[in-house]
Structure 1
Amino acid sequence: MTLSTLLDGFASVDPSFADVEITAVTADSRRCAPGTLFVALPRGDRAGFVHDGHDFAPAAVAAGASAVAATRPLPDLAVPVLVVDDTRWLLPRLAGRLLGDPSRQMRLVGITGTNGKTTSSYLLEAIWRHMGRRSAVVGTIETRLADRQREPGMTTPDPVTLQRLWADCLIYGVHDAVIEVSSHALHQYRVGATHFTAALFTNLTQDHLDYHPDLEDYFAAKCRLFAPDDWGQAPRAVINIDDPYGRRLLAQLGPEAISYGFGPEAVVRGVEPVYDAHGSHVRIVTPAGEWRQDLLVLGEYNIANALGVIGVALALELPLEAIRAGLAGCAGAPGRLEPVRCGQDFTVLVDYAHTPDAVHQATSALRGLTPGRIITVFGCGGDRDRGKRPQMGRIAAERSDVIVVTSDNPRTEDPDAIIAEIEAGIPAGLAEVHTEPDRAEAIRLAIDLAQTGDTVLILGKGHEDYQILGTEKHHFDDREVAHEHLGGRGL
């Protein structure tokens, strides 16, 4: 594709190099070769932006790049330099156009929210599977096109990888896909030039305030998913109106939006929920019909996830029989209240909950199902939002009988200092409190404290199989540690 065709409508191109042939677009100078347009991304003003892509433009040209897009003149380069206002906005659009904007040929669902994105993705995929459709899942746990697994990376991949992913979906005959869309991805335009058929908002509670200056900025980033795209089309919105930010978002959207929740004003409504050790059960009320839905996932928050997915399925005009059967057969996502069973007479569950609201939801889901005590193991990530640490300590103490405060990816911070900030929020005398910086020892301690009928809830990592110490990842899996210790007890 010529440079002038690629940039048409995005930026003006000097006629002297309008016919330069471009075969690839990248923001990584190491991936440049003849025919590549290198897009220099600025450092930015948020956490995580370490490098300025303009500094790597000479290396990109040395590697063979045929042209450079930048936000300022780079006069010393021996290739055409296109100066534009925002290269971060431009990158996904160039990557998409070069591949024929593949997402426009798909039924693509974006899910955003603080909690519930991954489970909702798996629930929706289960409906497609029941229908025999080949589908893709892109998110926190994995990137999978039908049965083809990709290396997991960020929750939402970079824009060039993402556009390549949509193109690969079409090659493999996949036309249905669901992607978790993080606030970082929305703020950084990673899903720019991606056409969404439907978009789901699950909830918004405190998280990522190491990146966003406040909750309003966090919310504004989430709202971008529901705006009209480059082709003037907005996704069919499905909004949780039990969440205050969801109600605000619904007020901004048109009457086509589908609301869901437990209240009478919701378009998709859950009524008469019942919970037991085998899952959750709820009557579903929708304009398309009513039915009793059985779910393998536990807790009110997982019923809410199912309600949101039902709203999406209705927006996609999927048959009710497939919705009901697909949801009933889905065990949810790995590392979400995942049991560890070694014949013990108490319950051990591993869950990804790592925000104040998620801790509240996970512990609340288990209170009515636990005849004994709830013993909660948790920590908070280092070099991340410090404001949620005392909140998580308070909530864990309020909702548990015993808590074991430990490390969870301390990164470059002192684990004991993080634990002290968590302890600062724990009211005196509310729960039995233990501290153990060594996460493996903390899990073993919690299991040793457990008695018949208790529930040991290990929070924070879920599906993750690593612990970040300093700047290095080390293999660590909560499920493995729990399984090994339970097995070693001779149960």
Structure 2
Amino acid sequence: MLLSTLVAGLKGKLIGDNDTKDIYIENICYDSRKVLKDSLFVCIEGYHSDGHQFAMDAVNKGASALIVEKELDVPCVQIKADNSRAALAYVSSIFYNKPSDKLKMIGVTGTNGKTTITHMLKSIIDKKEATGLIGTVGIQIGDDDYLPVNNTSPESLEFQHTLDKMVKAGINTVVSEVSSHGLEEHRVDYCDFDVAVFANLSQDHLDFHKNMESYFNSKAKLFNKLKDKNSCSVINIDDQYGSRLVNIVTSNVITYALEDRTAHVVGAITERNKQGTQFTVSFQKQNIAINLPMTGDFNVSNALAACAVALSLGYDLHSIKRGLEDLKQIPGRLEKIDLGQKFSIYIDFAHTPDGLEKVLSNLSRIKENNLITVFGCPGNSDVEKRPIMAKIAQRYSDKVIVTMDNPKYEDPEEIVADIVKGFEKNIYETITDREKAIMFTLEKAKANDIVLLAGKGHENYQLIKGEKIPYSDKEVVYKFFAKGWKSEVASE
């Protein structure tokens, strides 16, 4: 594609006397290590490095043009933009021929529940047509295996490329998680959505957003990315921020709730057990009972979000019921591990105060003996939530093992020390090494206990001192039983 075509609508300034009309661009990069001949290299100032410092390296590798935020002393065509991330989103959309225009796009935002809602929607829509999915667990095109992602919302270049691949694979509908970071960093710019979902908002990422109002404003940006007057906002009005958002959006609105009976889509839980949750859905004087194969009242709320979206797309309640009742296990979302042991093991991604409280409060309702929680907190982010999560773990658990999560560049011992400041009862132990903490917990578990491994969920790595080290809670559990380790159940 000609550079002149790529940047024709970009609010940027051509530096120097160079002419862009004859420069051909083969690909776009923002990582100089991936530059090939005839690349357009976009210089992005990141958190740990500045792409402008690698511009000369990119040129030496064959980059034929640069997008910059400041003029560089580099012998190459340069287009100066106010914001390189926004410029990357624009040229990526043009390079891949505006793929979102060819798709029905559903975006889901919220502090918790995005992954579950998108998987529920995929299960419903898959009954009718192959669906694309983009989110924390990975990228899925139809029934293909997950492709890995680095962020909940991939960088705009990868996001647009993924949408292009979905178009070429014959996908018509895409469900995508949309994070606040993704919205702030322009990762989903130039992608218009048919349906936008607001699930909830609670404390998280305040190291990035600074306060809850800023966090809310970031989430609300998704609702400015709706395609046209026929687009729909699906909003949880049990959430105080959702109730605010209803009065701000200008699109069609469908509300949902478990508690607020004024919502368009209303749920009522009828039974809870270890196998799942039974609830009814009411919409426009229609009612249907659904057996959801997931525990947790919060997952019923997630299911109501999926119901509301599907209804906005014209699905009937019976089709929605089939999709939800056939829902497959979502990796790391209250994932139950059953290897024949006499106690229950759940792995969950709960890594925020609200997420942990929702998981623990629901597990406490179905426990028959002790509820044992293993958790930690990530490093280099939101220090304030650490003792808060200890208080929550203490409120619902009979025993707590505090360990590491993704310490990143922080000392894991210091993170653990921050967490334990929140305990008022002596019901906790600290074992910083996460694998050892889980092994210890499984060894001590007794019949009918519930063990919750919280924080890591589906993740198959730990971030330690800048390195991504292979690690999985699930693999540790399998390793425990594969080695023939015995829990205290066996010796009773």
The interval holding the TM-score normalised by the smaller chain is: over 0.9
Residue 235 of structure 1: how far off its partner (Å): 4.5
CA distance in structure 2 between the aligned counterparts of 1:135 and 1:211, rounded to whole angstroms: 32
Residue 375 of structure 1: how far off its partner (Å): 0.9
Select the residue among 335, 342, 345 that pairs with 2:342. Answer: 345
Look up the match of 2:71.
73
For each residue in 1:362-399, what CA deviation from the matched residue of structure 2 results, as whole angstroms up to 9, or x when unmatched?
11111121111111111111222111100000000001
SS in 1 for 2:209: coil
Residue 12 of structure 1: how far off its partner (Å): 6.0
Does the Cα contact within 8 Å between 2:65 and 2:78 map onto a contact in 1?
Answer: yes
Does the Cα contact within 8 Å between 2:386 and 2:419 map onto a contact in 1?
Answer: yes
Look up the match of 2:451.
456
CA distance in structure 2 between the aligned counterparts of 1:233 and 1:32, rounded to whole angstroms: 41
Look up the match of 1:434.
429
Equivalent residue letter for 1:26 = C
Does the Cα contact within 8 Å between 1:123 and 1:332 map onto a contact in 2?
Answer: no
Does the Cα contact within 8 Å between 1:409 and 1:467 map onto a contact in 2?
Answer: yes
Does the Cα contact within 8 Å between 2:232 and 2:252 map onto a contact in 1?
Answer: yes
Please report the RMSD computed on the Cα atoms of aligned residues, expressed in angstroms: 2.1
Look up the match of 2:116.
119
Normalising by structure 1, we get a TM-score of 0.93
Normalising by structure 2, we get a TM-score of 0.92
For each residue in 1:170-211, what CA deviation from the matched residue of structure 2 results, as whole angstroms up to 9, or x when unmatched?
111111111111111111000111121111111111111222
Does the Cα contact within 8 Å between 1:39 and 1:70 map onto a contact in 2?
Answer: yes
Q: Pairwise mapping of residues 255-334 of structure 1 onto structure 2 (< 5 A)? A: 256-262=252-258, 263-287=260-284, 289-334=286-331
Select the residue among 236, 245, 266 that pairs with 1:249. Answer: 245
Does the Cα contact within 8 Å between 1:3 and 1:13 map onto a contact in 2?
Answer: no
Select the residue among 131, 137, 154 that pairs with 2:133. Answer: 137
CA distance in structure 1 between the aligned counterparts of 2:335 and 2:33, rounded to whole angstroms: 40
CA distance in structure 2 between the aligned counterparts of 1:182 and 1:9, rounded to whole angstroms: 26
Asked whether 1:3 is paired with 2:6, we answer no
Residue 310 of structure 1: how far off its partner (Å): 0.8
CA distance in structure 1 between the aligned counterparts of 2:12 and 2:385, rounded to whole angstroms: 46
Does the Cα contact within 8 Å between 1:271 and 1:283 map onto a contact in 2?
Answer: yes
Does the Cα contact within 8 Å between 1:202 and 1:240 map onto a contact in 2?
Answer: yes
Residue 19 of structure 1: how far off its partner (Å): 1.1
Residue 233 of structure 1: how far off its partner (Å): 6.7
Look up the match of 2:372.
375
Does the Cα contact within 8 Å between 2:115 and 2:136 map onto a contact in 1?
Answer: yes
Compared with structure 1, are the counterparts of its residues 453 and 148 closer, same or farther at alpha carbon in structure 2 (3 Å cutoff)? closer
CA distance in structure 2 between the aligned counterparts of 1:415 and 1:13, rounded to whole angstroms: 46
Does the Cα contact within 8 Å between 2:199 and 2:302 map onto a contact in 1?
Answer: yes
Select the residue among 395, 398, 401 that pairs with 1:401. Answer: 398
CA distance in structure 2 between the aligned counterparts of 1:118 and 1:223, rounded to whole angstroms: 18
CA distance in structure 1 between the aligned counterparts of 2:185 and 2:330, rounded to whole angstroms: 27
CA distance in structure 1 between the aligned counterparts of 2:433 and 2:31, rounded to whole angstroms: 37
Asked whether 1:483 is paired with 2:478, we answer yes
In structure 1, runs of 5+ residues without a counterpart are 44-48
- Once structures 1 and 2 are overlaid, which stretch shifts more, 32-41 or 403-412? 32-41
Look up the match of 1:161.
158
Residue 234 of structure 1: how far off its partner (Å): 8.5
Look up the match of 1:36.
39
Residue 257 of structure 1: how far off its partner (Å): 1.4
Look up the match of 1:465.
460
Residue 64 of structure 1: how far off its partner (Å): 2.1
SS in 2 for 1:110: strand
For each residue in 1:440-476, what CA deviation from the matched residue of structure 2 results, as whole angstroms up to 9, or x when unmatched?
2221222233222211111111111223332223332
For each residue in 1:23-71, what CA deviation from the matched residue of structure 2 results, as whole angstroms up to 9, or x when unmatched?
332222333344332222234xxxxx12222222222222222222222
Does the Cα contact within 8 Å between 1:212 and 1:218 map onto a contact in 2?
Answer: yes
Select the residue among 202, 207, 210 that pairs with 1:210. Answer: 207
Does the Cα contact within 8 Å between 2:233 and 2:251 map onto a contact in 1?
Answer: no
Look up the match of 1:55.
53
Compared with structure 1, are the counterparts of its residues 407 and 77 closer, same or farther at alpha carbon in structure 2 (3 Å cutoff)? closer
SS in 1 for 2:307: helix
In structure 2, runs of 5+ residues without a counterpart are none
SS in 2 for 1:130: coil
Look up the match of 2:79.
82
For each residue in 1:92-114, what CA deviation from the matched residue of structure 2 results, as whole angstroms up to 9, or x when unmatched?
11111122101110011111111
Does the Cα contact within 8 Å between 1:122 and 1:332 map onto a contact in 2?
Answer: no
Compared with structure 1, are the counterparts of its residues 385 and 78 closer, same or farther at alpha carbon in structure 2 (3 Å cutoff)? same
Compared with structure 1, are the counterparts of its residues 145 and 288 closer, same or farther at alpha carbon in structure 2 (3 Å cutoff)? farther
SS in 2 for 1:488: coil
Residue 256 of structure 1: how far off its partner (Å): 1.2
CA distance in structure 2 between the aligned counterparts of 1:73 and 1:348, rounded to whole angstroms: 56
Look up the match of 2:233.
237
CA distance in structure 1 between the aligned counterparts of 2:468 and 2:36, rounded to whole angstroms: 31
Identity of aligned residues (%): 36
SS in 2 for 1:343: coil
Q: Number of residue pairs matched?
A: 481
Look up the match of 1:46.
none
Compared with structure 1, are the counterparts of its residues 127 and 7 closer, same or farther at alpha carbon in structure 2 (3 Å cutoff)? same
Does the Cα contact within 8 Å between 1:91 and 1:159 map onto a contact in 2?
Answer: yes
For each residue in 1:118-163, what CA deviation from the matched residue of structure 2 results, as whole angstroms up to 9, or x when unmatched?
11111111012222x1111111112111233423322111111111
Equivalent residue letter for 2:252 = E
CA distance in structure 2 between the aligned counterparts of 1:127 and 1:288, rounded to whole angstroms: 22
- Once structures 1 and 2 are overlaid, which stretch shifts more, 299-308 or 257-266? 257-266
Residue 303 of structure 1: how far off its partner (Å): 0.1
Q: Pairwise mapping of residues 379-394 of structure 1 onto structure 2 (< 5 A)? A: 379-394=376-391
Look up the match of 2:21.
19
Does the Cα contact within 8 Å between 2:12 and 2:82 map onto a contact in 1?
Answer: no
CA distance in structure 2 between the aligned counterparts of 1:410 and 1:80, rounded to whole angstroms: 41
